[in-house]
């Protein structure tokens, strides 16, 4: 397992970007659960964030692509509006314990 960060470093309703083994990732905590995805929009393969660690829309309820405004559900990564509607972000298996938030290598 690869440790992304300590649990307290990803607050409820927040997003955060990571670069692990050459892969760009994003993590979001929603309703106490952490969701981790590759930081790559399925439309053009571009990174999603507006600026460092800023992946969410103004309401904080959806992941938003900064390049063309596509919106993705936090819980599943499914694109619900935009040029990649019906596609999804690539999820990574993760778990959380007292020592950290972890992903599979």
The predicted-structure confidence for 19-72, as pLDDT tens digits, reads as follows 998 999 999 999 999 999 999 999 888 899 988 999 999 999 999 999 889 999
Closest CA to 25 of 35, 13, 33: 35
Contacting residues for 67 by C-beta, under 8 A, at least 6 apart:
41, 43, 44, 46, 48
Q: Span 2-30, mean pLDDT?
A: 96
**Residue 45's pLDDT is what?**
84
**Residue 105's pLDDT is what?**
81
pLDDT above 90: residue 101 = yes
Confidence band of 85 (pLDDT split at 50, 70, 90): very high
Q: Is 31 left (phi over 0), alpha (psi -120 to 50) or beta?
A: left
| Distances, alpha carbon 29 to alpha carbons 11, 36, 42, 87, 91, in Å | 7, 9, 21, 21, 14
Provide the CATH number for the domain formed by 2-103 in this structure: 2.102.10.10
Whether the predicted model's global pTM rises above the 0.85 cut: yes
**Residue 68's pLDDT is what?**
87
CA–CA distance, 78 with 102 (Å, rounded to integer): 22
What residue spans define the domains of the chain? 2-103
Identify the residue whose tokens are 């390049």: 67
DSSP 87-100: -B--EE-EEEETTE
């Amino acid at each position: 397992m690869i440790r992304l960060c300590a649990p307290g470093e990803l607050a409820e309703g927040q997003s955060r970007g990571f670069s692990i083994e050459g892969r760009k990732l994003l993590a979001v905590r929603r309703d106490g659960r952490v969701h981790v995805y590759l930081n790559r929009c399925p439309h053009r393969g571009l990174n999603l964030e507006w600026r460092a660690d800023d992946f969410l829309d103004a309401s904080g309820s959806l992941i938003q692509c900064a390049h063309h405004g596509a919106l993705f559900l936090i819980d599943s990564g499914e694109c619900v509006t935009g040029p990649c509607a019906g596609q999804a972000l690539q999820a990574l298996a993760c778990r959380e314990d007292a020592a950290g938030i972890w992903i599979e290598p």
